[in-house]
Amino acid sequence: MKYEHEQIYKDALLSTAKRMCAAAQTAPKGHGVDSILTYILTGDEKEQLACEMERLGTEYMGDEMPTWYGRDANCVRKAGAVVVIGAKHIRRGMSRCGQCGFENCAANAAAGGRCADTFMDLGIAIGSAVSVAGDDRIDNRIMFSIAQTLKQMPEYGPEYVWYGIPLSISSKNIFMDRGITHKL
């Protein structure tokens, strides 16, 4: 049997995406609390994300949208898949921690704060996931613009902090030389 390169790359990319989700799930978490949720977006769901990125970018940046959100939306369209990783906001119930800037979890809750462990869990999960992509030599990019977009999409929900990692197999990394022209 002869396997064609297009199918080989598609299969390899999806296999890596699945292993990235597994790596994110098994990454260490603060106090062992299971707070990580993962998805893989392809096809229509990936296009929906790209369209929403452009819409939100226009809302946030007006005419400057193409320089950041638009550029990233184009990368999402070119990518074979997007791995989405979220960490649920769960306070750990600690009487003494302070990593969030509050004295304890009760003070954090009273002020409507967010547990620092949520963000640490997400960072560790993302690091574990992209290490899998790196090991497999799959081009990837962690995108803040996807994070901002996902939190506005009702199907992902505000109880999570999200990030997205588009994946690509090509002779030239589509996520490099993107031309950063927006103002921070």
pLDDT tens for residues 65-94? 788 899 999 999 999 999 999 999 998 888
Helices and strands, counts by H and E, the chain: 6, 4
- Residue 66 in any domain: the answer is yes
What's the pTM value of the predicted model, to 2 decimals? 0.90
- Residue 48 in any domain: the answer is yes
Give how many domains the chain has, as a whole number. Answer: 1
Expressed as residue numbers, the domain containing 111 is: 5-168
What are the tens digits of pLDDT across the range 151-180? Answer: 999 999 788 999 999 999 999 999 987 555
Q: How many CA atoms lie within 13 A of 35 on its CB side?
A: 28
What are the tens digits of pLDDT across the range 105-148? Answer: 899 999 999 999 999 999 999 999 999 999 999 999 999 999 99
